[in-house]
């Protein structure tokens, strides 16, 4: 674990937030050596934090034992250089179990994903996340998406809950997010973190920055850290010319390709990691691999992205 509080480490990141894929061998079992290499390379490339076993890391496909093993490996590979945040999800009892496994493995915090399947009311959602937060001493970031969508009033209650330090948005409703940010700012003293958690968040990050949300997930960092860093630095320095060039020439075609297949937000990323020379294996079902034509298009998009970076040098 890192020694500084997680909120402080995340509020002033030195680079993109890294969501590593989970590596599998040819037989579909966990390939821990490759996973370690993937995490280590991401940290060395400039990641500000490692979010292990979250959406891009196929949390849904891991057994509790595999989850604990991967989180521990991520903690060991980062060696305290950056914080490690682990996913937690499913129903409340299982989410609590995963939270405790993450704590035992040395994680610095939790990303609490939506509960499994059911569409709950606000009261039930609040109880769910409060029980996750109370289960360990790890700080919690709540992930809003799918069947876990909050009113501004409920977001205020989350922000008042001991142990909950932030809110990640995967819904994309900027009007709702502005009302959530305003409500929490008016009613809860102190800092509360917000993250843009949409797939390929760079594509919408200029809009999110407009309402004060500077932190975002970067799945692209998994397979093209140079491009992700180039975009991140352009945002940090106000270089809108570079940001727009990368958005138009790389992120736009990548997002359009991602939209060609269900589950491509994960499987296309894993394909990208393989294209860069690290065999992290295929996705587990029910996800499926991109077509050969789509992988070819991805390779061309990555090449174009690197060319765009050279244009700015």
- Residues annotated as catalytic are 143, 168
* Secondary element (H or E) of residue 218: strand 215-218
CA angle (208, 311, 227) in 5-degree steps: 45
151 touches 121 (CB < 8 A): no
Helix ranges (H only) for the chain are: 6-11, 32-45, 64-78, 92-104, 122-135, 152-160, 174-187, 202-210, 225-237, 240-246, 252-258, 264-275, 292-311
248 touches 232 (CB < 8 A): no
Determine the longest span between alpha carbons in the chain, in angstroms: 53
Residues near 307 by beta carbon (within 8 Å), at least 6 away in sequence: none
**Could you identify the residue written with the tokens 């595999």?**
66
- Report in angstroms the alpha-carbon separations of 142 from 60, 138, 225, 275: 17, 13, 26, 32
Paired with 141 in beta bridges are 111, 166
């Amino acid at each position: 674990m890192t020694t500084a509080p997680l909120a402080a480490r995340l509020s002033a990141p030195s680079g993109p937030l890294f969501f590593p894929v989970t590596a599998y061998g040819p037989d579909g079992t966990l390939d821990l050596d490759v996973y370690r290499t993937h995490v280590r390379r991401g940290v060395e490339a400039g990641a500000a934090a490692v979010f292990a076993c979250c959406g891009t890391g196929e949390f849904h496909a891991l057994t509790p034992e595999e989850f604990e093993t991967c989180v521990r490996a991520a903690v060991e590979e980062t060696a305290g250089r950056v914080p490690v945040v682990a996913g937690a999800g499913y129903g409340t009892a299982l989410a609590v179990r995963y939270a405790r496994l993450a704590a035992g493995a040395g994680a610095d915090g939790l990303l609490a994903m939506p509960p499994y399947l059911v569409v709950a009311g606000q009261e039930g959602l609040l109880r769910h996340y409060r029980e996750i937060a109370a289960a360990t001493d790890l700080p919690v970031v709540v992930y809003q998406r799918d069947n876990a969508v909050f009113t501004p009033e409920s977001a205020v209650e989350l922000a008042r809950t001991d142990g909950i330090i932030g809110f990640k948005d995967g819904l994309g409703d900027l009007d709702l997010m502005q009302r959530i940010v305003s409500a929490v700012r008016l009613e809860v003293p102190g800092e509360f973190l917000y993250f843009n958690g949409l797939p390929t968040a760079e594509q919408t990050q200029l809009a999110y920055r407009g309402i004060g949300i500077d932190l975002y997930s970067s799945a692209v960092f998994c397979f093209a850290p140079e491009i992700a860093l180039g975009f991140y630095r352009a945002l940090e320095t106000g270089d809108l010319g570079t940001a727009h060039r990368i958005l138009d020439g790389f992120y736009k075609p990548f997002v359009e390709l991602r939209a060609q297949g269900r589950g491509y937000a994960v499987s296309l990323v894993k394909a990208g990691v393989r294209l860069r020379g690290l065999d992290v294996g295929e996705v587990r079902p029910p996800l499926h691999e991109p077509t050969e034509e789509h992988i070819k298009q991805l390779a061309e998009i990555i090449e174009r992205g690197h060319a765009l970076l050279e244009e700015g040098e």
